[in-house]
Amino acid sequence: MAQKIGFIAPGVMGEPMAQRLRGAGYEVVAWARRAERAAELEAAGLRTGTLEEVAACPVIVSCLRDTAAVEELFLRNEAFSEHLAAELVIEHATIAPRVSRQVHAHLAERGIHYLDAAVSGGPAGAAEGSLVTMVGGSGEAMALARPYLEPTCGRIVHIGGPGSGVALKLVNQHLVVAHSVAAAEAAALIRDAGIEPEGALEALMGGWAGSRRLELQLVDSVRGEYGPDGADLDLFREILRLVGGAFEDAGIESALLPGVEETWDRAAAKHPRGRLASLASAYEAAPED
């Protein structure tokens, strides 16, 4: 019989991850908070179940939205706790490291292994199985989890103890947002100069200026193609808050983050569901009356 995996909150990132686990031969039972979302998952071929059924699975993979959702489910939800029988819990959400350590300690009291395994690579990486995961937790838990990480993650790096995976993910996210805003400003200059974005990208990617965010968003930014792709501006507001908290906790005054936040606010006011390419809209002149 195939190993049963309970999958919590398969959203934009989680649904393709759950599908890849199912494709790898695991029996996946998914839980969604809303009945409409559960129906969508069923239509996509995933079996859904109650939260109690998922809690009883021997392995749980979770992709919750934010810190508050992780706290509520793992630290305060009595029904979930009562039915929790897993040997291993893998949480892919990007959350506050402090809460990750709290969940680890709470589950360790019950003999349950917990890993914070934040991922990077976006919805496309989830669908391709090419995500990078930064894992925090014990070596024993890491060994148990590897077979459940390999179908979704092309690069698996054990960073250290509890909370270290999400701590490094916040460093990752700081670089992502900074590079995204830099690419948006580059797009604004290229558009103003009347330069074709494809040629500009080819040249810029050949030297020190090249970056993954430049590659992914420059042409769309110059062309004004801002439609949603699953990684929308509003979703990053919580990330910006967490990154700011990391700097504050470290006693480091970031020179970059305030400007990034200002750009994000201007662009998100225009395109809250826009892809990261829509950051370039922060540099567009307001239409004349």
Q: Is 116 exposed, middle or buried (0-12, 13-18, 19+ CB in 10 A)?
A: buried
Which of the residues 20, 22, 158, 169 is marked catalytic?
169
Catalytic-residue membership of 169: yes
**Strand, coil or helix: 128:** helix
Determine the Cα–Cα distance for residues 187 and 3; give it in Å rounded to an integer: 48
Determine the Cα–Cα distance for residues 216 and 214; give it in Å rounded to an integer: 6
Quote the distance between the C-alpha of residue 255 and its chain's center: 24
Tell me if 83 sits within 8 A of 56, measured CB to CB. Answer: yes
Query: Would you list the DSSP string of 169-198?
Result: HHHHHHHHHHHHHHHHHHHHHHHHHT--HH
Write out the catalytic residue numbers.
169
